[in-house]
A and B are shown apart, each in its own frame.
Chain A
Amino acid sequence: MPDLPKKKVGVVSCSGEELAEGTVTRLAALKVLEQLRPADTVTICLPLFLAGGEGDRAFARFYPTIAVDGCELRCAARATELYSSKPAASIVVRELIAENDLGQPVG
């Protein structure tokens, strides 16, 4: 049987610097990558993805992605769809906060 590349899931976080929710997306993506699903995930650098990183864009065209955004602007989800293909799943931190009645993140 050929040694096919393992199917991985790309996690694209917005990493927005202006909002605490952006930092939450960054930390969440790193937690998935390093602790929760290290064997099954990669992270995609959003600035590089947007700036024309062909490797990142190609990955997102052929592999499933999860967009993690801090706010309703959904930069990560929009960029992934714009430059590659629609994310398999999309999460917005502000929606999670509202749905779970969580406190507002600060920092």
Chain B
Amino acid sequence: MTDQNRKSCVVIVPCSGIGKTYGAVSREAAYVITEDLRPEDTQLVALSMLVLGDETARAAVAGNSAITIDGCKLACASKMVKESGGKVVQEIAVLDVYRRYKQFKPQGIGELNEGGLQLAKALADEVAVTIDTLASDNKGGRNA
């Protein structure tokens, strides 16, 4: 497959911060999006590889729209994608999502509790809507 033929996708970059529950939620949400909800339309990029300058990771970010999911206000994922020349179409902070779904009480880091998994799923559902909107816009653009 050539680059021209390769279908464009949305790059998902979670912070994956260790030591914080919200980092674990960001990581889990990214898996739900890329493995369950929109596997055909998304690509997971490891933040550590991106920041260390891995060519494949940087190319993926440079050539596609990106959605970042950060576990804390330092917003490492969002910052790094932008510094790598990526176009961030949606920046998500797990805390903001939690404020909308306070019924889910996330706990755990290595293993999230049920509330954490539910929060990750809720976050992933929101991202899926964004992905669908982007896909719809792209189709509209091609047909125009």
Residues of A within 8 A of B (CB): 13-18, 22, 26-27, 29-31, 33-34, 43-48, 50-51, 53, 73, 75-76, 78-79, 82
Q: With A17-B16, A26-B18, A43-B18 in contact, do A51 and B110 touch (Cβ < 8 Å)?
A: no
By beta carbon, the residue of chain A nearest B79 is A51
Binds A, one of B1-9, B43-51, B112-120, B131-139: B43-51
The majority secondary structure among interface residues of chain A is helix
Residues of B within 8 A of A (CB): 14-19, 23, 27, 30-31, 44-49, 51-52, 54, 74, 76-77, 79-80, 109-110
Q: With A48-B76, A53-B74 in contact, do A17 and B54 touch (Cβ < 8 Å)?
A: no
By beta carbon, the residue of chain B nearest A46 is B48
Q: How far is the CB of A106 from chain B (nearest CB, A)?
A: 12
Taking a contact as CB atoms closer than 8 A, the residue among B30, B77, B110 that contacts A47 in the complex is: B77
B74 touches A75 (CB 8 A): no
A16 touches B48 (CB 8 A): yes
B110 touches A30 (CB 8 A): yes
Q: How far is the CB of B97 from chain A (nearest CB, A)?
A: 18
A75 partner residues in chain B, CB cutoff 8 A = 46, 48-49, 52
